[in-house]
Structure 1
Amino acid sequence: MRTVVRLAAGAAASLLLTLSGTVPGNAAPTVATATATAHCTGSGCAGRNPVGTGCDRQARTVRRSAEIGPLVELRYSAACRAAWVRVTHARGGDRIEARNKGGACRPTSCYARTVAPGHSSVYTAMVNDKGIRAWGCLQRRNGNVVCTEAY
């Protein structure tokens, strides 16, 4: 029993030293950085995936729908100067759109995604939000439309 306790204590101490960056034999502690360089900015992000470009890393939700039901969020990345829409608690067939200009949904001003059957969340490609207001909408299968305020 003492051997098992000693092994567990040794493993825990080793793990703590590794996580703290103070591993014996290393000249300097390692520090993990949460920031990474974004791969696009403004109009260069239009139509691109926020996860694939790194724009999602420090993004924040700047607007939410106020309706009961699926949560529609307008996400914004200051590093990328771009926005996109994420929906959770939706149903297959519901469609979300990220927009940054008035009128019909056109390339570079609107990107849409449909929630896949059996899923409840999805996010859109990004729209330019550099000096332009963006917003998001959810079109439910039953015809109801819910939008965020512009940001």
Structure 2
Amino acid sequence: MVGIKTLGRLAVATAVPLLLAASGTVPVQAAAPVAVTAQCSGSGCSGRNPVGTGCDRDARTVRRSAEIGPLIELRYSARCRAAWVRVTHGSGGDRIEARNRSGACRSRSCYSRTLAPGHSSAYTAMVNDKGIKAWGCLYRRNGNAVCTDGY
């Protein structure tokens, strides 16, 4: 014989899912986080956007300028084995540059970006930093240049 309490519990257990389904509110179990994999590595990252490739997710600042004024940071992703330059507190017309070789700026070894008028921060495309030293520079509109040490 089934008691009144048991029938009540059975009714509630049956009714709740039906009511939630009818209202469009269905309990959903949270999905497990998906591991993010980088879309490039080393020389395959040259010229690519660190945010668009996911390289920014494990990035850290490995070098920064010691000058007073705009902050120049050399950012590095261990997963991507690539580096790029980020500036904050810059001025429109300032140019930042990420390099990984000495000498003239060549394709795939140097990427630059000029801050747009009214903007104070920006970042460059990435350079390969797999077994190669990289560094970054800021070239101010007034002709002054500030660079980070190599990493």
Q: Which residue matches 2:53?
A: 53
Q: TM-score, normalised by structure 1?
A: 0.80
Unmatched 5+ stretches in structure 2: 1-25
Shift of 1:105: 1.2
- Helix, strand or coil: the match of 2:61? strand
Q: Which residue matches 2:140?
A: 140
CA distance in 2, matches of 1:80, 1:129: 9
Q: Which residue matches 1:12?
A: none
Unmatched 5+ stretches in structure 1: 1-23
CA distance in 2, matches of 1:93, 1:104: 21
CA distance in 2, matches of 1:30, 1:43: 34
Question: What percentage of residue pairs aligned between the two structures are identical?
Answer: 75
* Offset from partner CA, 1:26-73 (integer Å, 9 cap, x none): 5x653334x411000000000001011110111111001000000000
Q: How many residues align?
A: 126
Between structure 1 and structure 2, the one with the greater Rg is: 2
Q: Which residue matches 2:75?
A: 75
Shift of 1:25: 4.9
* Offset from partner CA, 1:118-140 (integer Å, 9 cap, x none): 00011000000000000000000
CA distance in 2, matches of 1:145, 1:99: 14
Please tell me whether residue 44 in structure 1 is matched to residue 44 in structure 2: yes
Alignment of 1:10-25 (within 5 A): 25=27
Q: Which residue matches 2:23?
A: none
RMSD over aligned CA atoms reads 1.3
* Offset from partner CA, 1:51-106 (integer Å, 9 cap, x none): 11110111111001000000000000000000000000000000000000000111
